[in-house]
Every structure is written in structure tokens, then in C-alpha cells.
Amino acid sequence: MINIKDVTPGKPYACKFKVEHILDEHGRIPGLSDTPLKGLGWYEGFGELMQRDSEKQLVKILDEKSKKEFVVPFDQIWDVDEVEYVEE
């Protein structure tokens, strides 16, 4: 795995992350369904790094599952690695 401080600008990376967010009763990010909300909780996801702010120690991540963007502190991400895109 790669340290977030060592990523090379312009290369694609992805990571696992956790963020505090409103969740539905199944622990998911609310979408267009009518599932009742549970309230604030910790959501863990996996997504592509879109932007890094080394000064503020924040990254913007596009979550693979919910397709939402999250701004996450460096200490709430792990398993940073390069992404290899494959055409199907």
C-alpha cells in the first residue's frame, strides 16, 4: 500500500475510507428509495481519489457504491493503491 503523502499527482489512485454521514436503517448512504433514515453513523466505502490537499490533509473521494463525493481527512483513509483501468 502507498502512503497518501507519497502519491504522484496525475496518476489514478483509490482507497478505503470512513466518514460520518446520515445513514438509512440498513447502514447505507440514503438514495432515492423510501427506506427510513437511522441517523448519523459511520459509513465505510471504497473509491477513487479525485483531489488531495496536503496542506489541510484532506482528500476528495468518489465513492464507488454511492457515486457521491466525500472530503475525508488523511487519518480516515487506508489501503491507498494505484488504479489500473481495464477495458472490457
17-67 pLDDT tens trace: 999 999 999 888 888 678 899 999 999 999 999 999 999 999 999 999 999
Q: The whole model's pTM is what?
A: 0.88
- Other beta carbons less than 10 A from residue 63's beta carbon: 19
Distance CA 50, CA 60 (A): 5
pLDDT at 11: 93
**Contact, 39 vs 22, CB < 8 A?**
yes
Distance CA 61, CA 69 (A): 5
Distance CA 82, CA 54 (A): 18
Closest CA to 29 of 51, 62, 53: 62
pLDDT at 80: 97
